[in-house]
């Protein structure tokens, strides 16, 4: 991709990220965003259809940064059940710490598009670092396991989004992390085990 196109997109995302953090109750218009990013309105429309679409992209970008920060030390093949609780606790802590930011994203974005993008991203991560990915690499049905990963990712996304919306009434980081860890570990282990058993028995 042309470096100028990449830079202009990144500039718009940064301008929106700054706006989401500045505490102003009203988000900037397209004209104001273009002025902050130093570009024209036509350039904006090359990347985003409207302001809510840009908000959703900025939110997903921020989530990816947090996720990258907690999985940098992980390697494919690490013991998932042993590594997951501390990784999830760190990630929940980061997301709750940015609760105001993500509440603004949920209020100002195309919520369906934002959550759909989060689910897609988490699905890809689950298929990389968890036993679901190991099952795929072991020969189990990749389509079925991708669907299972999407289902699990959607459930976790919905749960965490509801907690973020609750603000101060949400559970503690420890309680939330324990709940997500138990859900993920048991769901993923059971699904991977079923698929590998069916593979061995020649069911699929």
CATH at 132 = 1.10.357.10
43 and 125 share one domain: no
Query: Distance (Å, rounded) from C-alpha 100 to C-alpha 104?
Result: 6
41 and 62 share one domain: no
Residue 41 domain flag:
yes
167 and 79 share one domain: yes
**What integer pLDDT is reported at residue 1 of this predicted model?**
60
101 and 21 share one domain: no
- 152 Rama class: left (phi>0) / alpha (psi -120 to 50) / beta: alpha
43 and 68 share one domain: no
Residue 32 maps to which CATH number? 1.10.10.60
35 and 101 share one domain: no
**What integer pLDDT is reported at residue 2 of this predicted model?**
77
96 and 73 share one domain: yes
118 and 28 share one domain: no
81 and 176 share one domain: yes
Residues of the chain with pLDDT under 70: 1, 71-78, 193-204
**What integer pLDDT is reported at residue 197 of this predicted model?**
57
Query: Distance (Å, rounded) from C-alpha 101 to C-alpha 164?
Result: 10
190-203, pLDDT tens digit by residue? 787 655 455 555 55
- 139 Rama class: left (phi>0) / alpha (psi -120 to 50) / beta: left
- Domains identified in the chain, total number: 2
State which residues form the domain around 25.
1-48
**What integer pLDDT is reported at residue 40 of this predicted model?**
92
102 and 172 share one domain: yes
51-90, pLDDT tens digit by residue? 999 999 999 999 999 888 776 656 555 577 788 888 899 9
C-alpha 200: how far from chain center: 33
Helix, strand, or coil here: 141? coil
180 and 155 share one domain: yes
Q: Rounded to 5 degrees, what are φ and ψ at 59?
A: -65, -45
Report whether 156 contacts 188 (CB < 8 A): no
Q: What is the dihedral of CA 155, 128, 101, 33, to 10 degrees?
A: -120
80 and 37 share one domain: no
Residue 185 domain flag:
yes
DSSP state of 168: G
Q: Rounded to 5 degrees, what are φ and ψ at 167?
A: 60, -125
DSSP state of 171: P
In 3D space, the residue among 131, 147, 140, 137 whose CA is nearest the CA of residue 190 turns out to be: 131
Residue 111 domain flag:
yes
Residue 53 domain flag:
no
pTM attached to this predicted model:
0.84
Residue 80 domain flag:
yes
């Amino acid at each position: 991709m042309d470096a100028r196109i990449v830079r202009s997109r990144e500039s718009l995302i940064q301008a929106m990220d700054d706006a989401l953090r500045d505490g102003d109750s009203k988000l900037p218009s397209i004209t104001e965003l273009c002025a902050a990013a130093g570009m024209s309105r036509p350039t904006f429309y090359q990347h985003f259809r409207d302001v809510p679409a840009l908000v959703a992209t900025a939110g997903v970008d921020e989530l990816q940064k947090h996720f990258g920060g907690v999985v940098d030390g992980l390697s494919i093949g690490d013991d998932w059940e042993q590594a997951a609780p501390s990784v999830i606790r760190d990630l929940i802590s980061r997301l709750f710490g940015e609760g105001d930011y993500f509440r603004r994203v949920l209020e100002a974005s195309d919520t369906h598009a934002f959550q759909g993008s989060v689910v897609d991203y988490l699905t890809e991560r689950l298929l990389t670092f968890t036993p679901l990915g190991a099952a795929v690499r072991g020969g189990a049905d990749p389509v079925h396991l991708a669907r299972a990963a999407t289902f699990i990712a959607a459930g976790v996304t919905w749960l965490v989004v509801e907690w973020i919306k609750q603000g101060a009434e949400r559970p503690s980081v420890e309680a939330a992390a324990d709940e997500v860890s138990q859900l993920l570990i048991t769901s993923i282990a059971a699904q991977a085990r079923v698929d590998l058993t069916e593979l061995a028995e020649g069911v699929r």
